Amino acid sequence: MNDKSPDELKKAQLQAKSVVAIRREGGVAAFPGLMKPRRIHCAEYTDEQRRELEGVLNLAARTCSATPAPGADRRVFHVHVEEPQHPDAAESDFCVWSLSLNEEETPEALIALWKSGMPGNSDQ
Amino acid sequence: MSKPEFNSTRPGFMPPFILERIASSRSDMQLQSRAQRTLEVDRYFRAQRTPDVASAMAMPQGSPHPGQVARYIYSANYQEVLPGTLVREEGQDETGDPAVDEAYRWLGVTYRFFWEAFERNSIDNQGMPLLGTVHYGRDYENAFWNGAQMVFGDGDGEFFNRFTQALDVVGHELAHGVIEREAGLVYTYQSGALNESLADVFGSLTEQYHLGQTAAEADWLIGAELLTERVQGRALRSMAAPGTAYDDPVLGKDPQPAHMDAFVETEADNGGVHINSGIPNHAFYLAAMALGGYAWETCGLVWYDTLLDSRLMPESDFATFATLIVENAERRFGSASRESIAIREAWQAVGVIA
Ligand SMILES: [Zn+2]
């Protein structure tokens, strides 16, 4: 599922301009409404919170396997860290880090982020 | 493993698909290059060739005689563990737990369909025991095949009912095992959509066989029992009218095409395996309706012949599959037969062959 190359060892580093998008896909049917990503805008959080978030992403990267789970109708979590190409660019965010995780090996902390966003964040 | 503290303490959170209305996944997806796509298929292919789940797990006793099913139903007790605790095995009485008893019953019905329609003795045609786990996870709104067994969630009760309620979905999951053993269709892009379509075809046929329905009497829906009252929709998919199964504010609109003109190019859903399966699904429906009668006695035989055809390769695409289907129809029914003609016309009607 993820390359075990030097790239894989690249750690997620979040800046204030980073956006973390977490999406769950797959399952026995492809409901477009259920595949929409949770987007976490790092600018809304403190440095300490961003380090914690980095910790979750890097934990996931360390524990995930390199291949998709066998079988069919399995669910997968996709994580992307996006950064705007120019400070004032309104669109065309650039993906600087990504990870795909089989559902059963996705850390609970990451699933919690997908469900509810950052703690203390009043509903987006 | 220490868990960083990110668990939200805020009660009653709303899942992101409700809160997040920005359909922004497109830009992420476009970043994936063609090379990456090839690599993914390659890795998946290698992973698929070694179904290590089945070998790593001690399998219970299989079918004692061809034609006799061997079922083992487990409960995960609302955790995400497999296979869980054995709660009912072959020959034992009902437990009173609907999920357990539905899984037991529908796995038996699916086994009987494959045996009576195709003389197939279970998933591996060698009497493999049928393992099903129910009560998987909490509010788990999915069912899957893990390479060794079938797994069913209870649904969230809000949008989805228990996944064991739908016979065709139980049949769909078991069929994934058969498809994996026979063709190993790679679970991405067109070969993945064929894998999905075959699972729908055999799932639907299982239900039609069980209910004694002709093609004209069948509903051609997949998972009609799964969506709750509050969902604006009829089922997970419609083989008769792909793209019309649901249109709901939360779940979105059924994305399935019925014709190659509307083929969806996407990286999501393993390259649209549950999306573009609408095209081969609709071909099956059109052929079955043109022929009338019991679909498992007409198209069903031809689709099953093709699944067993050694020329069907793990990465076969729609056109290759359709060509093999037509050849198998001609072999079984004769090249000028009404069956061969109807089946060829069905694949032409969905734009897969000229
Ligand atoms: Zn499936």
- Chain B residues whose CB is inside 8 A of the A114 CB are 16
Asked if the model's pLDDT at residue B268 lies above 80, the reply is: yes
DSSP B2: P
Question: In chain B, what residues touch A115 (CB-CB under 8 Å)?
Answer: 8, 13, 15-16
Give the closest residue to B108 by CA, choosing from B95, B81, B89, B125.
B89
DSSP state of A89: -
For residue range B270-287, list pLDDT tens digits in order: 999 999 999 999 999 999
Q: What is the pLDDT of residue A67?
A: 87
**Residue B9 pLDDT class (50, 70, 90 cuts):** very low
Is the pLDDT at B11 greater than 70? The verdict is: no
Q: If you measure from the C-alpha of residue B320 to the centroid of ligand 1, how many angstroms do you get, rounded to a whole number?
A: 21
**Average pLDDT of every residue of chain B:** 87
> What does the pLDDT read at residue B44?
39
- Backbone angle region of B329, left / alpha / beta, with phi > 0 → left and psi within -120 to 50 → alpha: alpha
A124 to chain B nearest CA, in Å?
7
Q: Is the pLDDT of residue B31 over 80?
A: no
Q: Does residue B323 have a pLDDT over 70? A: yes
Across the range A33-37, mean pLDDT stands at 94
pLDDT of residue B20: 33
Residue recorded with tokens 């395996």: B273
Q: Which residues of A touch B48 (CB under 8 A)?
A: 70
Given a contact cutoff of 8 angstroms between Cβ atoms, the answer to whether B318 and B242 are in contact is no
Report pLDDT digits (tens) over B113-164.
999 999 999 999 999 999 999 999 999 999 999 999 999 999 999 999 999 9
User: What residue type is B77 in one-letter code?
Assistant: N
- Going by DSSP bridges, is the β-strand pair B71-75/B130-134 parallel, antiparallel, or unpaired? parallel
ipTM over 0.90: no
**What's the CA gap between B118 and B90, in Å, rounded?**
22
Which residues 273-312 of B are in CB contact (within 8 Å) with A?
273-275
Lowest mean pLDDT among B32-41, B46-55, B74-83, B235-244: B32-41
Beta-carbon contacts of B26 under 8 Å, excluding residues fewer than 6 positions away, are: none
Structural element, H or E, at residue A75: strand A75-83
- Out of A66-75, B7-16, B233-242, which region has the weakest mean confidence (pLDDT)? B7-16
Strand-strand pairing, B221-222 and B150-152: unpaired
Q: Which pLDDT score is estimated for B224?
A: 98
Residues B246, B248, B251: CA angle, nearest 5 degrees: 90
Reported for B250-259, long-range contacts at CB under 8 A and 24+ positions apart, including other chains, are B250/A33, B250/B17, B250/B18, B250/B159, B251/A31, B251/A32, B251/A33, B251/A34, B251/B159, B252/A31, B252/A32, B252/A33, B252/A34, B253/A32, B255/A30, B255/A32, B256/B281, B258/B282, B258/B350, B259/B349, B259/B350, B259/B351
Residue B49 pLDDT level (bands cut at 50, 70, 90) = very low
Please check whether residue B10 is in contact with residue A116, taking contact to mean a CB–CB distance below 8 angstroms.
yes
Pairing of strands A19-26, A75-83: antiparallel
CB contact under 8 A, B46 and A123: no
B34 touches chain A (CB under 8 A): no
Q: Which chain A residue's Cα is nearest to B18? A: A33
Nearest CA in chain B to A66: B43
CB atoms within 10 A of CB A2: 18
Question: Do the chains contact at A52 and B248, CB–CB below 8 Å?
Answer: no
Q: Which residues contact B19 (CB under 8 A, 6 or more apart)?
A: A123, A124
pLDDT (tens digit per residue) in B157-209: 999 999 999 999 999 999 999 999 999 999 999 999 999 999 999 999 999 99
Domains of chain B: 1-48 (no CATH), 54-165 (3.10.170.10), 189-349 (1.10.390.10)
Residue B5 confidence (pLDDT): 30
CB-CB under 8 Å, A59 with B4: yes
